[in-house]
Structure 1
Amino acid sequence: MIKAVIVEDESLIARELENKIGLVAPDVQVIDVLPSLKTAKKWFMQNAEPDLLFMDIQLSDGVSFELFDHFQLSCPVIFTTAYDEYAIRAFRVNGVDYLLKPVDMEELKNAIGKCRKVIESSTPSSFQIKDLMQVLQHPQSPGSLYKEKFIVSIRNNWIPVQTKDIACFTRDNLNYLYTFTGDKYILDYATLEEVEELLDPKIFYRANRQSIIHTDSIQSVKPHENQKLTITLKAPLKMEVDISREKAPAFKKWFDR
């Protein structure tokens, strides 16, 4: 039995992650859920490290990487993140597993599978947490990481649209972009996933399967009793975008920065 600990400050997300772990990996036993950096520090002072760690990056009282400044942890780690593309790129370079919220079952299964091999081979984790922190805090050449403009075609002419002028991207049979002034253009991309990879996640948020929104395009956010959210975009768009109950906590954390 693999003993795991979850470090996550959103109780709903932590509970859903634990349930999903039980479904895709019955041999993984979650022995504790730690809701804050302070709680995690206290826990690791009093307990031996688990076989596997699931860690949210941004906690309510700090960044989970701080744990590595205080404890020599060698167990494999699966990081979870709502939006931080800098972290994702660093994880890829250093071979660290990560999951985007809301957690996909198949991705979770694959990530646990990779960590299981590390545990069974007794090979220590190879990532360098200090290098990861450096990338997060001092990203190099941000202009080269994200797309600065999109080229759209109008009457056989190519027109550049600056990314900073784009209020949202939507999917409706075809993919479209809308500018803050209300202009609408067809995008020459097959999926919104491709577009999402090109955008700065601190500025753009994948609200649902049909929409990616700019933080400055948001006029208001209305919470519902079922914990879903409805976002109204600013005029002239005045478009309504729904956020699911599962994504609502992650969106709030992204928006409230």
Structure 2
Amino acid sequence: MNILIIEDEIKAARSLENLISKLRPESKIMAKIQSVEGAIDYLSDSATPDLIFMDIQLSDGISFDIFKSVKVVCPVIFCTAFGEYAMEAIKENGIDYLLKPFSETDLKNAFEKVDNFKNFFQKTTENNLVELIQKISGEDNKKKSFLVFKNNKYMTVKTEDIAFIYINYTSPTMVTFKGEHFDLSQSLDQLASQLSGKDFFRLNRQYLISFSAVKEVEHYFARKLYVKLTVPTDDKLLIGKEKTAQFLSWLEDR
């Protein structure tokens, strides 16, 4: 199997290469690339790999920009420290989504998904492909509710009732459309990975918002976006220019 690694952290790329060599010694690493531009050049001029391991936040931008310039026909395993890109990854040949730091077992399971995908693809029709990707990605298994504790009582909050989750000092707080606040014990990264990427978006390191809570979006200085929600927030919600295209695409993809 010919494998391409797109990862801007040299140590992470080397570690991944070593794990691949251990688990799949018959595989060949075609190249290790650190940037969007470098990946576009390579994929435009070189032989198509059988599999790509791709970080999402690269040295010169977001790796999804690669797919806007070249056609990628092989499976892609995305490796990232952030959970909010899952839905976008599925659209771009994403067969698995590994959250850093991932283990040897995680990588082994990812390779098994690739094998199962190839075996299935040989005997399936195009109409079954979307269903298969949804099963592989686990999007159908995202949380529908959270168990929370407040005023000495346990209760459940449906995900459709969540307006946003934000970091309040050091821990996340869930805010509902009714203005209720619930403290959570998990990290924002963990929460983002449990929620549907179609319904929730990670604006930044502090805020995870619901699509239903978005009231309006305005242009801001330095090519940023200013997001206003139907439920008031303590902070002004700004999106940097490197993430604006992804956010607008998320808003449009209904």
| TM-score for the superposition, normalised by structure 1 | 0.57
Q: Deviations over 1:3-52 (max 9, x none)?
A: 9698xxxxxxxxxx7xx378976963686627xxxxx8xx5xx8633587
8 Å CA contact retained: 1:86, 1:136: no
| C-alpha distance in 1 between matches for 2:137 and 2:64 | 23
| C-alpha distance in 2 between matches for 1:150 and 1:59 | 35
Are 1:184 and 2:188 matched, yes or no?
no
Are 1:212 and 2:219 matched, yes or no?
no
Are 1:49 and 2:39 matched, yes or no?
no
| C-alpha distance in 2 between matches for 1:142 and 1:127 | 18
Distance 1:232 1:139, change over 3 A: same
Please name the residue that 1:11 is paired with: none
| C-alpha distance in 1 between matches for 2:249 and 2:171 | 30
Distance 1:242 1:83, change over 3 A: farther
8 Å CA contact retained: 1:232, 1:238: no
CA offset at residue 86 of structure 1? Answer: 8.5
Secondary structure of 2:202's aligned partner: strand
Paired residues for 1:48-67 under 5 Å: 48-49=47-48, 53=52, 56=64, 67=73
Q: Deviations over 1:169-196 (max 9, x none)?
A: 0111232111112121222x23112211
Letter of the structure 2 residue corresponding to residue 207 of structure 1: L
8 Å CA contact retained: 2:40, 2:66: no
CA offset at residue 205 of structure 1? Answer: 0.8
Please name the residue that 2:40 is paired with: 33
Secondary structure of 1:33's aligned partner: helix
**How big is the alpha-carbon RMSD for the aligned residues of Structure 1 and Structure 2?**
4.7
Name which of 82, 85, 89 aligns with 2:85. 82
| C-alpha distance in 1 between matches for 2:209 and 2:175 | 10
Name which of 165, 182, 190 aligns with 2:161. 165
Are 1:128 and 2:124 matched, yes or no?
no
Are 1:222 and 2:225 matched, yes or no?
no
| C-alpha distance in 2 between matches for 1:142 and 1:132 | 14
| C-alpha distance in 2 between matches for 1:234 and 1:194 | 25
Unaligned runs of 5+ in 1: 7-16, 35-39, 69-75, 119-124
Secondary structure of 2:133's aligned partner: helix
Name which of 148, 151, 157 aligns with 2:147. 151
CA offset at residue 141 of structure 1? Answer: 8.9
| C-alpha distance in 2 between matches for 1:203 and 1:32 | 30
Letter of the structure 1 residue corresponding to residue 219 of structure 2: P
| C-alpha distance in 2 between matches for 1:3 and 1:126 | 14
Q: Deviations over 1:72-125 (max 9, x none)?
A: xxxx8454893318849x96xxxx66578xxx8x88xx9xxx8xxx9xxxxxx7
Letter of the structure 2 residue corresponding to residue 178 of structure 1: V
Distance 1:83 1:230, change over 3 A: farther
Unaligned runs of 5+ in 2: 15-30, 55-62, 122-127
Name which of 190, 193, 198 aligns with 1:194. 190
Letter of the structure 1 residue corresponding to residue 160 of structure 2: K
8 Å CA contact retained: 2:163, 2:231: no
CA offset at residue 210 of structure 1? Answer: 1.0
| C-alpha distance in 1 between matches for 2:223 and 2:11 | 24
Letter of the structure 2 residue corresponding to residue 190 of structure 1: Q
| C-alpha distance in 1 between matches for 2:211 and 2:238 | 15
